[in-house]
Structure 1
Amino acid sequence: MRTLLVTGSAGFIGFHVCQRLLADGWHVVGLDSVSPYYDPALKEARLKILNANNHFTEARISLEDREAVMELMVAHRPERIIHLAAQPGVRYSLEAPQAYVDANVTGFLTILEAARRFEVEHVVFASTSSVYGLDGAMPLSPHRGGNHPISLYAATKKANEAMAHSYAHLFRIPLTGLRFFTVYGPWARPDMALYKFTSAILEGRPVDIYNHGEMVRDFTYIDDIVEGIVRIADKPAAPGEGWDADTPDPATSTAPYRIFNIGNSEPVQLLRYVDAIEAACGVEAIRNYMPMQPGDVLATWADVDDLAEATGFRPKTSVEDGVKAFVDWYRDFYKV
């Protein structure tokens, strides 16, 4: 049985990726420190499901513990790494910046060193649409922009992309970064808008809607994110043909390095999102309109042509269908 390491396996995206890989016949080593950034009980519930599968191995260690990670690599020799572990959250990065450098920068260096020492065939790592920051040319393309992040969270993810390119260039390690666009769905984190909105609506509390609802997001359902990750993992990054140093393309390189967007490629007004949650809950929200928050961007919209060309796949789940799936899960999990 082939072995693959998934970091962040107790997290929202990592949990779903592990489930998919196990269903596909992989032996999955799941690394997660189960940090207390949000309720660990939710992470433990995810891990309980994963640990019920005999082909899942839990490794409860921190990426900053380089020695422990290297021992894990020796023990399991994974062929690939899908690196999803991170300190998430734009707003929290204003409160605890050091946590982002420790987890997202130092932790990623551990993964790069592990891939270098153990000759991993492909590393797929999570980036974010937040790296586009001040970029306003829609749809957002990995072939331009991404150089003006406006939160430390986004800056650490941009740093990951630069670090990955240097290792791909120096050591010829195939590295692919995936810029996720506003992921949502069952088992989502409690700090995500969908979770907070659903909880507030069902409990009769006001819903805080930032920038008075004048925001647009490319909401992407978790199953579509997972499909994109798994398909990209099967296609190790290769040097770009015809890459020109005089007009450098930031999404590719002479090194085995690629950057892709994964988004629904359908910009949705925030108020439509709220409408969908209301419909799924069967309850009207108490709307509390708020000003724009530091670190937030006005709009996201993914150009996913590269993803479609490389994998034959485009995310397609509608906001209404995806939101309903989340609300159904929420009601069942919390017995609401």
Structure 2
Amino acid sequence: MANRQKELMDVASLELGTEIIYVTDEFFANANRMLQATEPVFKDEYDENGHWMDGWETRRRRDDGNDYAILRLGQVSRIIEIEIDTSYFKGNFPPSASVKGCYAPDASDDEIIDNPDNFEWFTLVAQTDLGPHDIFSLESKYQQSVTHLKIDIFPDGGIARFKAYGFISFDHKLFEKENINVISRRTGARAIYANNEFFGSLKNIIKITEAVNMGDGWETRRRREPGYDWGIIELANPAIIDNLMIDTNFFKGNYPDYFSLNAAYIPNTTHSSVVTQSIFWEELLPKQKLQMDQKHYFDSSSFSHQKPITHVRINIYPDGGVSRFRLFGKFIKYKEAEKILCEQ
């Protein structure tokens, strides 16, 4: 499942706006910790309630109930896999857990919390045995759109990290908006391949938030042979690009000397075939000089065309690091995209 997760997105991440709206108990450790993107850590520290743990941890139950948390996803999503990580929870892990989801885009938090039985909850993961200090990857049995998740642990205990891997369900209201970032994680864009990610992952450059340091961007190793480095990003729907921004924030002695873009309209493809096809993609933006530690802006006057695209390849010469990358434009429907391409 680890290989499949590379193609998916953690739709339960705090970055996408996911919030925990209710938790039965978080006596030993705040539930928000389990949604962090960082790897869990162990600290030999104590606070007023006990040993500090990097995750969500409830007190020991003394009744026949169980603890649970309800999450409102930042974006309507389809979930393919669930990952429950019990790292460092050795004598205090939950013996089992289950995950359910519901689709209630118009419901208030209070409605979900006070009257959960008024909504139809679908089982993503049936009650499943867990173990100490381990990672459990579980296939979702329900893969339609959901807005909320309910994580039940039986009867109590701690989870270091919880991730829900899947796809953001495209919001059709975006078709009505102009000049939006069409390669944002929030709009469903995905970084699908990079030839090198030695120091930092390509997916970092489409994060919603500003970079926090050099490690929060895409950085390749020092190239010692001819050529250049590149990465491919897939849009959630076709779009026409009006302008862009590329940011080398924090990259001072290791920013790329130049960058360029290639793009294509490929409505139906696989990730492996995209890599091969990208050799032949049309140039969208010719080579442009970059500077250290700053944002660079380019409008349509610099572009080679303004055709609808579904994929973009960012090329950096010869290597280096980029903190953030934005493509601004307008989403269009596939039929409209095909009509424009036929007329050109």
Common topology (TM > 0.5): no
| Larger Rg over CA atoms | 2
Bigger share in strand: 2
TM-score, structure 1 normalization: 0.26
TM-score, structure 2 normalization: 0.26
